[in-house]
Structure 1
């Protein structure tokens, strides 16, 4: 299991529109092979900041299966214009889980 993590800084005053677009975009990502689950968390201290956590069966399910798919183009169209700056995406694997 792989955890994808990205901090999403949204352009000022666009959070409400972003959340509506994300509601559409989540239908795309959740339909992809290897997708396990997703959490989108809103920062309490910073109004236009979110934390995206996505679990995948493997890193390839994200980097190849999703990112190189036609559906990823739809995802980009829905979401990428909201980011400032563009997020850094990192992948993690569990070392210890309690």
Structure 2
């Protein structure tokens, strides 16, 4: 399992609209992607324009090839992209340890 972490910055004053858009994009697009296993979205308390999106994928390729190379990626970006103040910073992680 791979964890994708996207550090997202949106335009000031658009938090309510982005909150709705990201939830819609996750429900309508991401949850149907090949290899999708689950997600979390966190909003910053100190920086209200900052969000961290965490998506679990079965494999790295499910995100980088299957999803990113699909029409679904274009749909996702059409929903959430207009709110981005800059391109999200995206990295992928392997699990090293966790609590029981």
Query: What SS does structure 2 have at the residue aligned with 1:84?
Result: coil
**Separation in 2 of the partners of 1:85 and 1:22?**
16
5 Å-filtered alignment, 1:1-98, equals 1-27=1-27, 28-98=29-99
- TM-score, length of structure 2 as denominator length: 0.93
User: Cα offset for 1:97?
Assistant: 2.1
Say what the alpha-carbon RMSD is for the aligned residues: 0.9
Q: Which runs of 4+ in 1 moved over 4 A?
A: none
User: Cα offset for 1:81?
Assistant: 1.6
Count residues with an aligned counterpart: 98
The answer for unaligned runs of 5 or more in structure 2 is none
The answer for unaligned runs of 5 or more in structure 1 is none
